[in-house]
Chains A and B, each alone.
Chain A
Amino acid sequence: MSVAVVPIDVRSTGTLIEAIEVVYDFGETPALRGANVAIREGEILAVMGPSGSGKSTLLHCLAGILVPKLGEIRLSGERVDTLAESARSALRRDTFGFVFQFGQLVPELSAEENVALPLLLGGVRRNEALVRAREWFGRLGIDGLERRRSGELSGGQAQRVALARGLVAHPKVLFADEPTGSLDSLTGELVMELLVTAARQDGTTVVLVTHEPRVAAYADREVIVRDGQVTSLTPRDRAT
C-alpha cells in the first residue's frame, strides 16, 4: 500500500509545544540534563538517539506523563509541568494522542471498541463513538477487522488499530514512542506512511521517538538526544 506523503512548510507556523532546560533523573541515573526542543504546530518531529539516551523520557515530559525536576514544558505558551496530575490527565485525554510500541490494546475489547475508547472517555455517546471509530478502519486499510480482538490481529494490524485510537479524537499532538519497533520493516513503513498521511490531513503535530533512521526519515525534522541533551540537529533542521 502506497500513500503519498505531503510535507508542510513548518516555518510558516508557530511553536506549539516546547521543552526548556528540562532536567529529569531516575534516582541516581540522570535521564535529561537541560534538554531543549521546540515543536511547531503541524510539524512531524523525529526524536532519535541510542538506547538509554533519554529520548522516551523527553517524550514523556513533553506529554505531561513525567514532571521535570527542573525546566519547563509549554503547550501553546502555557506551562504544562506546573499543572496538577488531574489536569495533565485531562490534557492527555483531550489534547494528545498516543501510539506505543506494543501492548496498548485492551484485550477484552474489539478493535472498533479499542479505537472508540478515547471518545467514550471524552463523553461521546457509544453509537456515535463507534461510527467515528469505524471511519478510521477505512482510512488505515483495516476494513473488516472492526469486530476482532487484539489477540486476533497481526502486529501490523494491531499497530494500525492503535494508530486509529491515537488519532480518533483529533488530538493536537500525537506522541508516538517507537511505533514500529515491534514490526518488520515493510509493515513498519506502511504504518509510518499511514501515520504521517493521517497527521498531515488532520494537521496533527507528531512527536515521534525512534532509533531507526528509516522511520525518522518520514519526519519533517529530526533531533538527536544524547546523554540527556538534545545535542545535535539534523542537517535538514539546520538548513531551516
Chain B
Amino acid sequence: MIRFGLRLSTRGGRESLVRLVVMALAVSVGVAMLLLTLGTINGLGKQNARGAWMATTPSVEVGYPNHGSPFSSATTSSTHSPIWWFISSQQFQSQLIVRVDVAATGPRALVTPGIPHLPGPGQFYASPALARLLRTTPAIELGNRFAGTEIGTIGSSALPSPNDLVIVIGQSARSLSKVSGAGEITSFVTSSSDGGPDTAGTTGLQTILAVLALVLFFPVLVFIGAAMRLSAARREQRLAAIRLAGATMRQVTVIAMVEALVAAIAGVAIGFCLYFITGPALVHVPFAGQPLEPGDLSIGVIDVMVAAIGVPLAAAVVARIALRRVHVSPLGTSRRVTPRPPRATRVIPLVVGIAELAYFVSVGRPGSSNGQIEGYVLGFFLIMFGLVLAGPWLTMQGSKIMARRTSRVSVLLAGRRLSDNPRGAFRAVSGLILAIFVTSVSVGVISTILTDHGSSSSNTLASKTVTDQFAFNPNNSVATVKPSVLSSIQSIRGVSGVTVVYVAPGAMKIDGPVPHINNLGGDLQYGVVSCAQLDKTPALGKCRAGASYAALGDDVAFMPITKSVTVAASTTWPNAHPTKGLTTLPVQLIAVATNGSASTIEDVETVLDRNFTFQGMTGLFGDIDAQKSQLLSELQTTSEVVILASLLIAGCSLAVAMAAGVSERRRPFSLMRLSGAPLGVLQRMVALETAGPLLVIAIASALTGFVASDLFLRSQLQLTLRPPGLSYYLIVGGGLFGALVMIASTLPLLDRATRPESARIE
C-alpha cells in the first residue's frame, strides 16, 4: 500500500503532481523559516558566549551599581595565577563602552580572551571599533578617559559583535587591589547565564531573545500545518474513489500519510536549500542590537533532526488527523457534522487574567518579590492562554455580526464561512496572536520605561546635565572632591554650573518634609546641597528663596539615573541646616550643567571618568544607564523584528489557507461565476475571510498586550503606558501590508480556479 501511495503521489497525473509540488513548496518555506529561527537562536547564543567573559566577577561584597551582589568568580578551573579584575561601563554618545581593568599577580597570569597577553600598567587593548573611535575622536572627549598606550586590538573571538566598544586596561596589582569592587579571579565565565553583573548587557538577554524566538515557532508551525492541509478536499475525493474500489479505511490512511510524507520530505530538502541561500542575509539583522558574525548563524545536529525528521513526521500526523475530521466512505467524502460552536465560557481565562492585573492596580500588588513574580506570571499566562482559547469564539461572534445584516454577497459569504468554522479560521492566525501579544507587552513596557527615564536626545535640562554618581549605598561614597577637579570641570567651555551633592548627616535639621519624586520607597539618606551651586544646575530643582542649603530627596540625590527627572526640575527642596561644612561630608553626586553640546558633555564625562575612574558612574541626568538602555533598546528591536516576522509568516499561512479554501469550494464558486457573479465578489469574499481575521487578531492581541503592559506598569512601577515610537507603527503597518500583499498574490488563483470553463470541464 505504501508503494501504491508513492505511485499515486508521484505519477497520479498532472493534478496530483501540481498538488504535491505546491505542498512541497509551502512546506519548504516553513522549514526554511524554522531553520532560520533555530539558526538565529544559535547565533545569538554564540554571540553571547563570546562576550560571556565580561560577566566574570570577583567574589567580593561591593556596593557599586555594577556589582550589586556577590557572584561566583568563574565557572571553569584554571592553572594560571589569578589576576586582579575590575569591570565597569561608560557611555560615549549613547554607546556603551565596557572597561576592564586587569593586573597580573604572577608570571603565568590568566589572560583575558581575545588578546595575546595581559597589558601591563599603562597599556591597553581596545576592540577594533573602539580603536577606530579613539583615533577619530579628540582625546579630550574620549581618549583621556583611558590613560596608557594602545598595544593591540581585541580579537573578534572575544567580542559579541564587531561594533562592540571594549577596552582592557593594564594596572598594577597594587593600585587595582585598592579599588573597591576589584578582586582576584582565576578563570572566566564561559556562559553569560553563569555570570552575574552583566556589564556588557548580555546576561539574560539570550534567554529573553530565545523566548521571543520561540514565540516565532508558533506561526511557523501553524504555517507548516496549513501547507499540509492544502487541497485536502480534492485529496479526500480521490481517497473516496479508492475506497469505492475496495480499499479499507486503514489503507486509505496509509495512502494519505504517504502522500503527506512525500511532500514533506521534498519540502524539507528544498527548505534546507532556501535556508542556506537566505541565511547569509540574516546576519545583518541586529537582533541583539548588533549584527551577528557571518559564521554565527548555524544549525546543530538536533536542529537538523527537528527539521528533517520532525517536520515529515508532523506532516504525517496532520494528514492522519485531517482524515479523522471527514468521513471517507465508498460513496464519497462528507465533512462531519459542523462542530459545536465555541462557547462564551472560553473568554473566562482572558477576563480573569486581566482582572488579576487590574486588581493589582486597584488594591495593590503582592508584598513579597516571589509573590509578585507568581502573581504577574499567572496573570500573563492566563491572558495568553485566554487569548488562544477565546480566539475562535471572538472570531465567530465577529463574523456573525458581519453576516447578520449585510446585503453584500461577499460580506455574507465571508461571514458565513468564518462563523461556520471559527476554529479553522482562527487556526491560520493563532500563531500570530501570541507573537503579537508578547511583543506588544515587551514594546509597551520598554518604550514606557525608556520614555519615563528621559533620553539624552531630548532637549531638556536633564539632557544637558551630566552626573557622576558614586554609589547607591552612602557607605561607598567618595570622601572628598578636590577643588582642582571642580575648577577643571568649570573651565570646560559650555559648562554653566557644578553642584556637589553631599550625604546629609542623620541629625541634620530640615524645614518640612522632603518630596519623594519617584515613590520608589526605600530608606536612603537625604542629600544636602549648597543653594549657590544648585541655582546653576536647575535640572536638580531649586532652593526656597533666600535659603543657603537645601535637602534633596534620596531618590534624586542617590538614584538620578533611574527615574523621571522632569519632576525634579520643578521641585522646590526644603531648607536644610547642616551643623558642619559641606566639604567635610561624603560626596554622593556631582552634577554638571552644560550647554548640551555633544563635545562639552563628552569633555565633562572624560574629566569625571579620569578623576573618578573606579568610583563613579557618569551619564546624563535621568538618562537610564548605558547598560540598561542598550539592553532595552536591543529587546525593543528584537520585539519589532519578531512582530514583523510573525506578521509575514501569518500572511504566508493565510495565503496557503486561502488557496486551500478556494480549492475546496471550487465548484460552487465557478458555478456562481458561471451564473454571472462578478469575480470581484469572490475576490472581496476571500479577502475578507482571510485578511479580516488577520487584521482583527493583530489589533486585538496588540491592544490586549498594551492593556496588560499598562496594568503591569501601573501596579509594579507606578507608570502609565506611553505609546510606542513611530518605528513600532511602521513595523506593524509594514508587516500587515506585507501579509496583505501575500494574500493578494493568491487572488489570481481564484480567477483561474473558478473560471466558467473550469466548471464546464468538471
Contact = CB atoms under 8 A, between A and B. Distances in A.
B13 interface: no
A136 interface: no
Contact of B668 (A90, A94, A103): A103
Interface stretch (B99-107, B413-421, B599-607): B413-421
Nearest to A56: B760
B412 A113 contact: yes
B671 A100 contact: yes
A98 B675 contact: yes
B665 interface: yes
A74 interface: no
Given A126-B406, A129-B407, A109 B674 contact: no
B735 to A, nearest CB: 29
A100 B417 CA distance: 23
Given A65-B674, A109-B412, A104 B668 contact: yes
B320 interface: no
Interface stretch (A39-47, A114-122, A186-194, A228-236): A114-122
B363 to A, nearest CB: 47
B756 A104 contact: no
B416 A98 contact: no
Nearest to A124: B407
Given A103-B667, A106-B668, A109-B412, A93 B676 contact: yes
A125 interface: yes
Contacts of A96: 675-676
A91 interface: yes
A118 B704 CA distance: 41
A98 B417 CA distance: 24
Contacts of A118: 675-676
Nearest to B409: A120
Given A106-B665, A126-B406, A121 B413 contact: no
A215 interface: no
Contact of B671 (A57, A98, A129): A98
B755 to A, nearest CB: 10
A9 interface: no
Interface residues of A, number: 34
A151 B406 contact: no
A66 interface: yes
A107 interface: yes
Interface string B666-685: 01100111111110010000
B406 A94 contact: no
A120 B671 contact: no
B757 interface: yes
A15 interface: no
Contacts of A108: 413, 416-417, 420
B334 interface: yes
Contacts of A100: 671
B405 interface: yes
B335 interface: yes
A105 interface: yes
Nearest to A113: B412
Nearest to A26: B761
B674 A113 contact: no
Interface string B433-473: 00000000000000000000000000000000000000000
B760 A92 contact: no
Contacts of A91: 676
A61 B676 CA distance: 14
A104 B756 CA distance: 13
A149 B337 CA distance: 11
A60 interface: yes
A100 B675 CA distance: 10
A98 B416 CA distance: 23
B405 A121 contact: no
Interface in B392-427: 405-409, 412-413, 416-417, 420
A103 B671 CA distance: 8
A117 B409 contact: yes
Given A125-B407, A151-B334, A113 B676 contact: no
B760 A120 contact: no
Interface string B294-318: 0000000000000000000000000
B676 A107 contact: no
A89 interface: yes
Nearest to A100: B671
Interface of B: 334-335, 338, 405-409, 412-413, 416-417, 420, 665, 667-668, 671-678, 681, 756-757, 760
Given A104-B667, A108-B416, A109-B416, 8 more contacts: A92-B674, A96-B675, A98-B671, A103-B668, A105-B668, A109-B413, A113-B412, A121-B678
Interface of A: 56-57, 60, 65-66, 86, 89-94, 96-98, 100, 103-109, 113, 117-118, 120-121, 124-126, 129, 149, 151
CB-based closest 7 A-B pairs: A93-B676, A92-B676, A108-B416, A126-B407, A103-B667, A65-B756, A104-B671
30 contacts: A56-B760, A57-B760, A60-B756, A60-B760, A65-B757, A66-B756, A89-B676, A90-B676, A93-B675, A96-B675, A96-B676, A98-B674, A98-B675, A103-B668, A106-B668, A107-B668, A108-B416, A108-B417, A109-B412, A117-B409, A117-B677, A120-B412, A121-B678, A121-B681, A124-B407, A125-B407, A126-B406, A126-B407, A126-B412, A151-B334
